[in-house]
Amino acid sequence: MTDINELFRTVATDVDTPPAAETIEADLARGRGALLRAHRQRTIRRSMTAATALAAGVAVLVVATQVGGGTTDGNHLTTKQPGVTHHHGNATKPSIRLVSYTGKQLAGFSVDKVPAGWYLGAVNQYALTINANDDHNTNADVFENKLTVLLASQDEQSFPKNGDHVTVAGQPGVIWNGGEEMLGYTDAAGHRIVVQYPDALGWNDTQMVAFAEGVHVTSNALAGRG
């Protein structure tokens, strides 16, 4: 029977025997290869993370741009870039002139002037909408493409600081872009008024102010929330 020590001596090198140079070089090569693979994997992971972050950033930018394109949805005034002024209106359409209004007034708000070819569409305690003649939507809760007058929300502490600073009947106001042009001001009676001007009007600051100076708030008007 073969001695166990003899068996070990035949299958393994003695611990006191130095390894061959070829063995050392092979071990080093394997180690360098492992380090290279680990470095490559870390680089790939970082690249994938950066690419994912970049793609997410581009997606956010695209969404923000689409949202910022600014349409008005129902009774929500959409936001493009609050406080940034983009003047004014639709460059492909001429400015619509402002004319005196002599028809029946609607409770809540009254106006002295309207755009030519537009009519008082609807009113409730929160908003007055003025429609183009071909716009037959008389839902006072829908502001899209309408000239709209309302009181500023009770939750809105102040108007944007940036924008075009104007004077409305002797009171300070500001015009900013909230998807469509917006004018906010406080009248002499202390009413905080917001007017939304659709792009279709093509109005400049002077025309916006001229309309606002003919707006009157009645005791029936209420400020919304949110």
Q: Is the pLDDT of residue 78 over 80?
A: no
Burial 87-103 (b: 16+ CB within 10 A, else e): ebbeeeeeebebeebee
Max CA separation in the chain (angstroms):
125
Per-residue model confidence as pLDDT tens digits over 103-137: 999 988 999 999 999 999 999 989 999 999 999 99
Q: In terms of C-beta density within 10 A (0-12 exposed, 13-18 middle, 19 or more buried), how is residue 54 classed? A: exposed
pTM of this prediction exceeds 0.85: no
CB atoms under 10 Å from CB of 224, counted, come to 15
| pLDDT over 90, % of the chain | 49
| pLDDT over 70, % of the chain | 59
Q: Is the pLDDT of residue 159 over 70?
A: yes
Kindly state the DSSP code that residue 80 receives in the 8-state scheme. Answer: S
Q: Is the pLDDT of residue 163 over 60?
A: yes
Whole-number Å distance between alpha carbons of 193 and 152: 6
Specify the pLDDT at position 1: 54
What confidence category does residue 14 fall into, taking pLDDT thresholds of 50, 70 and 90? low
Specify the pLDDT at position 34: 43
What confidence category does residue 35 fall into, taking pLDDT thresholds of 50, 70 and 90? very low
How wide is the angle at C-alpha 89 spanned by C-alphas 85 and 90, nearest 5°? 130
Q: Which of 22-31, 79-88, 207-216 has the lowest mean pLDDT?
A: 79-88
What confidence category does residue 4 fall into, taking pLDDT thresholds of 50, 70 and 90? low
CB atoms under 10 Å from CB of 218, counted, come to 14
Q: In Å, how far are 101, 156, 161, 197 from 135, measured between CA atoms?
A: 18, 30, 33, 15
Specify the pLDDT at position 86: 42
The mean pLDDT value of the chain amounts to 74
Which one has a higher pLDDT value, 156 or 51?
Answer: 156
